[in-house]
Amino acid sequence: MRYLQYIIFTITLLFTSCSKNVAGTSNVFSNPLDPVTADELGFITPAIVFFPSEVAVNAVYDVVTLDVHAMQVPNLGGAHIQVSYNKQKLALQNLSLGSFFESTEGLIYHEDNTDFGLIDIYMGYLGTDSTEVTGTGQLAILQFQAIAGGASTVAFTDYSEFVDHEDNDIAILGKGTCVVTVGN
């Protein structure tokens, strides 16, 4: 009898652990960088997304870190990424190059227009070698300081663009957003 209970328990555990609908796991399987999840949500690539896509911090003056990722981009040689943010609630503290361009002498430059809440990020390669990367990877790391409570959206504008090493446009077909919620 004990052997039969063990088998039933094992089978039950096996079948319930393989389901996406296990109680208490809503939104656990919603990684925006996962190509399967992107397909299920109808998100078209090549794309540019924030990770995480939602962030909550407890108090004003806490720091929020957002990664900017390219998703399934072919032959990426450079990028201009324009990010809009709520200047009443967030202030850019730091911006650095992500790992996607880093291994090949990547270059990053940014301008933060605090009057309009816009960040222009330019990235690519240094040197005469024409280098490209393909796939999904981290382009940049942004750190914002919360300066007011409430929810705000960080988004990519239509002025964002990807190019190959010959400066040919690569269409960005999907753009993610991030909601930052700050407690009081």
Does residue 88 belong to any structural domain of this protein? yes
In tens, the pLDDT along 17-29 reads: 444 443 333 443 3
Does residue 12 belong to any structural domain of this protein? no
Does residue 18 belong to any structural domain of this protein? no
Does residue 23 belong to any structural domain of this protein? no
Does residue 75 belong to any structural domain of this protein? yes
Looking at the 3D structure of the chain, how many domains does it have?
A: 1
Does residue 104 belong to any structural domain of this protein? yes
CB 81 within 8 Å of CB 157? no
Does residue 146 belong to any structural domain of this protein? yes
In tens, the pLDDT along 136-179 reads: 999 999 999 999 999 999 999 999 999 988 889 999 999 999 99
Which domain covers residue 107, as residue numbers?
Answer: 28-182
Does residue 14 belong to any structural domain of this protein? no
* CATH code assigned at 168: 2.60.40.680
**What's the N-to-C CA distance of the chain in angstroms?**
57
User: Considering the chain, what percentage of its residues have pLDDT values greater than 70?
Assistant: 73
